[in-house]
Structure 1
């Protein structure tokens, strides 16, 4: 039984919400020493362009910053389920990125949810896994008068929820994972099953990377 029916103002709920918000603020601000405190040592980040431990995630983000890569996050409401020392949180979010696509500077915005696995150890909550769910996205030239033609075959390689984000990231050299969870389908159902298993006290089920 989870504690999801409790008020969201309990100390554990507030601590988890702080972690979720700090992740976005500290990551986007490049405050990497503070960002590290959000995670437990084995914490893993899953994203369209990266899958691995949080230390490596920090390293590749730093390198991306040096090349001018800017990926920003904005958060909405959270739903947090707590079962003893474990928790699963879903938080509405947007991911935005600006880059040149076929020599046209574009903004891409992706709407979805962060699906997070947390554990409380020695009185401290920390993130064990972050898996975004990608619901829908769009890509627009920054200059509304610019003409942009996308490669339909490349666009179709990626799921509907993040195909424009993936298109932009591929165009600047990233290898993008093509089977991330979306609004529905087997990938997101498997993620929900992992969340239920985690709250029941089982080891974190592995997912294909």
Structure 2
């Protein structure tokens, strides 16, 4: 039952955020909630403010979810959900779609009887960039592209081209950042009440 309730929170996160339903989106977070992403690291309230502004400015970052698996220990849980992030934008005067596939790695805690997200860290496994117009020719700067890990290098390229600062070294398919995240997840569960 806990796994189903946690999976429902994950589903609502994607639906409410992508629809700009900010009030209901805020209800999914623990008061100490923290969001990590390519373009943002900070408290959930600041993430909502930044997302709301970007949404009003026309930025669309859409999420499609696959299955969720959760490990529950008392009042804490860690959930992993297969996901795809799609962002449309302009790179070198060409409209593109970037598709990034990976997992949401979520730390959960019970708060007032409900499961709430305390920390979300995406794991970026692979991505690609495609011109929206299939006849367009797009040439990327290899130096800029290769500054970021394989899992999100095209997403980072697009986001930086549109003025965002992107964090390097985020978890990928199999790297030290992901190993460290798994250790943090195990410790989170071991310290559950």
TM-score by length of 1: 0.90
**1:35-88 deviation per Cα after TM superposition (whole angstroms, max 9, x unaligned):** 011001110000000000111111111111222111000000111100111100
In structure 2, what is the Cα distance between the partners aligned to 1:23 and 1:200?
26
Whether contact under 8 Å (2:83, 2:102) holds in the other structure is yes
Q: Does 1:126 align with 2:126?
A: no
CA distance in 1, matches of 2:113, 2:55: 34
Q: What SS does structure 2 have at the residue aligned with 1:133? A: strand
Off by >2 Å, runs of 4+ in structure 1:
none
Instruction: Tell which deviates more after alignment, 108-117 or 62-71.
Output: 62-71
Q: Which residue of 2 aligns with 1:98?
A: 88
Distance 2:53 2:162 in 1: 14
Please show how residues 167-206 of structure 1 align to structure 2 within 5 Å: 167-201=157-191
Separation (CA, whole Å) in 2 of partners of 1:68 and 1:193: 37
Q: Aligned match of 1:58 in 43, 48, 60?
A: 48
Distance 1:68 1:151 in 2: 26
Higher mean Cα deviation, 101-110 or 61-70? Answer: 61-70
- Specify the SS of the correspondent of 2:59: coil
SS at match of 2:16: helix
CA distance in 2, matches of 1:119, 1:167: 34
2:30 is the counterpart of 1:40: yes
In 1, the alpha carbon distance for the partners of 2:100 and 2:91 equals 16
CA RMSD across the alignment? 1.1
Residue of structure 2 aligned with 1:114, choices 104, 112, 116: 104
Q: Which runs of 5+ in 1 are unaligned?
A: 1-9, 203-209
Q: Take 1:130 and 1:121, find their aligned partners in 2: how far apart are those partners?
A: 16
Select the residue among 144, 156, 161 that pairs with 2:146. 156
Uncovered stretches (5+) of structure 2, i.e. residues with no partner: none
Deviations 1:152-180 (Å, cap 9, x if unpaired)?
A: 10001000000000000000000000110
